[in-house]
Amino acid sequence: MRPLAILIAAAFLVGCGETDEADDRQTVVAGFYPLAWAAEQIGGQDFRVVNLTPAGAEPHDLELSPRDVTVLRDAALVVYLGGGFQPALDDAVADREGPSLDVFAGDRDPHVWLDPLSFVQVVMRIGRALGRPEPAGDVVKELVALDMSYRRALKRCARRTIVVSHAAFGNLAASYGLTQLPLTGTSPEAEPSPRELERFVDEVRESGATTVFTEPLVSDRLAETVAREADVKVAVLDPVEGLSDSRLAAGENYLSVMRSNLEQLRTALGCR
């Protein structure tokens, strides 16, 4: 019934876990942070989860080292977001023999983890692939609680447009009745021309927004220029694509970042 789980078991029997002598658990490779977080929550102590995107790095830019390629080859499962989100990984997965789980569902906006209820589907699929539906159910409950707090907190707000430095928040905006005004496209480093910039400053003024959101992993220069020209504040809205080592060490995780994003949104939108 669960061919992937059987394959994982088979991989285990023929002796994977050679990647790390001190750790004979099966390895799950995740393309970037939110998938790694979900795999860790679901896999618990039984799996070693490797996040291919280095802590604090931008996942779109992923390049694979020879060591990464070895880890990928030997992993019991690879969980990744296809559809060109991390092109280097799409190629590596195609060369792999073991099972891989592409959580891309053909959405226009690939940032599914930024909408808690949309992320539920991803979590369920990882749970099935690892043969662990119950821990996945626990994560689903946390995501549902997160959805409830977003829904409640963003119900009554003075403004409903969020100005963001990259179009990562479309799913989140759609779920909570907000409008996203992105400074660039869905990949953060496609910069706009001066004319586009000028038009953008006008749009920000017209929207009545009081804040331009930047993100932790990308240069603020563009957002700061727009904010200065449109005379609005700059604040951070984290697309949770990667957490630096120091933030992870400080106990931050997907849920805590999503909650602090909610606080940023409430302040910027004037929610009661």
Residues near other proteins (CB under 8 A): 1-2, 105, 107, 115-121, 124-125, 127-128, 133, 136-137, 140-141, 143-145, 147-148, 151, 171, 174-175, 177
Cβ closest to other proteins, residue 175 vs residue 253: 175
d(CA 227, CA 225): 5
Measured in residues, the chain has a length of 272
CB 71 within 8 A of CB 19: yes
Residue 259 beta carbon to other proteins: minimum distance, rounded to whole angstroms: 17
Judged by phi (left if over 0) then psi (alpha if -120 to 50, else beta), residue 56 lies in left
Amino acid, res. 237 = L
Our CB check for other proteins shows the closer of 110 and 216 to be: 110
Residue closer to other proteins by CB (options 118, 210) is 118
Residue 181: enclosing H or E segment and its boundaries? Answer: strand 179-182
Selection from 266, 248, 258, 214 nearest residue 116 by Cα: 258
Of the pair 2, 221, the CB lying nearest other proteins is at 2
Measure Cα distances from 180 to 95, 117, 177 in Å: 37, 18, 10
Q: Contact 225/112 with Cβ under 8 angstroms?
A: no
Which one-letter DSSP state was computed for residue 112?
G
**Closest to other proteins by CB, 54 or 131:** 131
Smallest gap from residue 171 Cβ to other proteins (A): 7
User: Residue 110 CB, nearest distance to other proteins (Å)?
Assistant: 13
Q: Which residue's CB is nearer to other proteins, number 136 or number 265?
A: 136
CB 104, min distance to other proteins, A: 13
Minimum CB distance to other proteins, residue 124 (Å): 6
On whether the CB atoms of residues 83 and 61 are closer than 8 A, the answer is: no
Q: Which is nearer to other proteins, 85 or 200 (CB)?
A: 85
Query: What is the closest distance, in whole angstroms, from the C-beta atom of residue 246 to other proteins in the complex?
Result: 32
- What's the min distance (Å) between Cβ of 111 and other proteins? 12
d(CA 113, CA 107) in angstroms, rounded, equals: 12
Write phi, then psi, for 100 (nearest 5 degrees): -135, 145
Separation CA 162–CA 232 (nearest Å): 12
Rounded to 5 degrees, φ, ψ at 179 are: -115, 130
Angle at 181 between CA 176 and CA 184, to 5 degrees: 125
Shortest reach from residue 96's CB to other proteins, in Å: 23
Residue with Cβ nearer other proteins (47 or 176): 176
